[in-house]
Amino acid sequence: MDQAVAQFVAVHPLPAAPLPAEETRVLAHRAPALPSAHPWTPRSIAIIVFAWLVLQIGGLFNPGLLDDVDSIYTEIAREMLVRHDYVTPYINGVRFFDKPPLMYWMAAGSMHIFGPYDWAARLPLALGTLALFLAVYALGIRLIRFVSPEHAPDRGGFYAALALATSIGPYLYTRFYIPDILLALWMTLGVHLFLIALDRIRENRSALVPCATFAAVMALNVLTKGLIGLVFPIGFVLCYLALTRQLRLLARLHLVTSAAVFLAIAAPWHILAALRTPAIPLPSGLGLPAHGGWAWFYLYNEHIARFLGRRIPHDYGQVPVPLFWLLSALWILPWTAFLFPAFAAHLRELRHRAVLTAREHETALSLTLWAALVLGFFTLSSRQEYYSLPALPALALMAAGLLARADASLRNDSHAARASITRWTLWFLVPLTTLVALVCGYFAITAPRPVPGTDIASLIAANPKFYNLSLGHLFDLTGAAMGIFRGPLAAVALSMLAIGFGSLALRRRGLHCAANLTLAAAMTLTLLATHEGLARFYPILGSKGLALAINAAAPRPSDKIILDGELTSGSSLLFYTRHQLHLVNGDVNGLWYGSFWPDAPHIFETEDSLHLRWSGPDRIFLLTYNPTARAHDLAPFGQVHTLASSGGKTILTNR
């Protein structure tokens, strides 16, 4: 009888109807009893919120907006407020078709409440990050609660949320305003809601509420980053049901009602966007269709063509597959050390399903499928470094499961878990952190101390071939530039020693919870040092200081602010000056497609028109990366003065 029940549970972990009484008693005997009290604990919540406050809220106010996508998304939100048009995104007065509107709406709503400040625009992303940590905490309680119910039923969720909060990837990619961390939130909520729906079906209860909420979350996912918001949740549901041989349950997931909820939320903007920007004749010889509007660019070019690597224009980098997978592991450091043995354990469990309880099988299958779906999809499509972010909650939950096992003294496998964690700390974490500590310590001690007031641009080596990558400017760093980062480097070196040797010493004494908290605390120091490094590197990445210099010169409405190149070369000027920018040879990339519309402003300059404006009656502020050559070029047409310089960029003016 036991063998028959074990086989039944392995094949049907969440059956559609209650088990017979005798089989229920056997299954209850195999599964640990869960406490009836609500497992959320104030202490765990307080620690998670405290880590969020330190790491996220502290970074809202400094540095300024980065040039490129950070300031572009934020400026689109500000222009929505000015135009009172929340359907068609505009940037610098030009239609912008690349992304759906939820990120713009969030920033616009925050700026409407608090004012048009950069910190106000960043606040919704920080709140979304907190929601992600709490969502992972809640899902971890469900999936990992069976591990240590005797004293800490929330331990797995707590470790997962803490790991995600103090990992490299989620922190780095919330330093600028991009939507990918929200995809991780929607995916976490979607997985949890689907599993709740299956629970209710198993108990012969209505699954309407979790199914309708799942559809709403999926709609928000689509409004965050497009059709990928359908691919991952639906792919997870179908694959999960197929692998557990429960596809018949689709009929009980309230598909009609869920579809109605999804369309009620997601469809209006798509319909209005298509109506507001219908197809117009497009230039020939550029790879464009004869006629195209919002629908062609957004639905085909931004989704299908991007997936195939044929998007027009091809203004983004392509990370090689091995590097993409390596970075996916890097983003969850230092908790990656426990991810490898945890993932191996899940694979073993899935191969020997007969020995698992229903909840253990659900955990192993859900997390493995979730991570494989996201990473596998981007392995086959176009990919950038941070596209793996929606998989990181699953990876954090895997690692947290192993850490919680080590804390569970009543489990038979807790000793093996503790031995595995200690072994991976010794042979993976200690060598890695020691190497990082030695490198950072070396540069902190030996790097030449820069003269006060030195522009960091004079100490780096530009490598524009890497700038299509989100972290491409890291390749600009030189030994001479390291002196600017002496303090952050020293902090990283010390924290690495705590992560490696400090946590190892605690684990050898059996203090695994203290070791995990030490990891989190030391990583918090590392991430704060990273933020300080970003602030010191900011003149290369943003132009707030130059914008403030222009504002101090009190430009009149008739004055012109001109970028010597495309918008991304100084897009933060838009937000901080509140002044439309003109672009020399800048009708490329982001503004290129929108420039074909009749309502596009006359902001695109040529060399000849720049010369004409420079000799005209209006004052010109020109941001250029090559001030010597540009000053020589403009001298025959009027006076050339330097207003300000920072980060390799200079503001030239003719008055």
Render pLDDT for 521-569 as a digit per residue (tens, 0 to 9).
999 999 999 999 999 999 999 999 999 999 999 889 899 999 999 999 9
How does pLDDT run across 290-334, given as a tens digit for each residue?
Answer: 898 999 989 888 888 877 777 777 666 678 889 889 999 999 999
Q: Is 291 helix (H, G, I), strand (E, B) or coil?
A: strand
* Bridge partners (DSSP) listed for residue 651: 623, 644
Q: Quick one: pLDDT at residue 462?
A: 76
Query: Which candidate, 397, 341, 327, places its Cα nearest to that of 163?
Result: 397
The pLDDT score that the predictor gives to residue 615 is 92
At 399, the amino acid letter reads: A
Q: pTM of this prediction?
A: 0.90
Strand, helix or coil at 326?
A: helix
Nearest Cα neighbor of 77 from 103, 115, 99 is 103
Binned at pLDDT 50, 70 and 90, residue 472 comes out as: confident
d(CA 70, CA 107): 12
Which tokens belong to 386? 């941070």
Does the domain formed by 544-653 have CATH 3.90.190?
yes
> Which region holds residue 115: left if phi is over 0, alpha if psi is between -120 and 50, else beta?
left
Structure confidence by residue, pLDDT tens digits, 36-93: 345 788 999 999 999 999 999 988 999 999 998 999 999 999 999 999 999 999 999 9
Q: What are phi and psi of 15, to 5 degrees?
A: -65, 160
Q: CA distances (Å), 546 to each of 76, 581, 624, 652, in order?
A: 20, 14, 11, 11
Whole-angstrom distance, CA of residue 653 vs CA of residue 400: 57
Residue 39: predicted pLDDT: 78
Return the percent helix, strand and coil in the chain, to nearest 5.
65, 5, 30
What's the average model confidence in pLDDT over 589-594? 87
- Closest C-alpha to 92, from 483, 592, 626: 592
Share of the chain above pLDDT 70, in %: 90
Radius of gyration over every alpha carbon of the chain, rounded to an integer in angstroms = 27
User: Which of 281-285, 330-334, 477-481, 577-581 comes out lowest in average pLDDT?
Assistant: 477-481
Compute the distance between CA of residue 459 and CA of residue 482 in angstroms, rounded to an integer.
Answer: 9
Q: What pLDDT is recorded for position 451?
A: 85
* Angle of helix 486-497 versus helix 430-446 axis, rounded to 10: 150
- Among residues 106, 129, 124, the alpha carbon closest in space to that of 55 is found at 129
Ranges of CATH 3.90.190 domains, the chain? 544-653
Q: Which residue has the higher pLDDT, 148 or 554?
A: 554
Half-sphere exposure of 501 (CA within 13 A, CB side): 9
- What does DSSP assign to residue 353? G
HSE of 554, CA atoms in CB hemisphere, 13 A: 0
Mean pLDDT of 121-150: 88
The answer to whether residue 9 scores a pLDDT higher than 50 is no
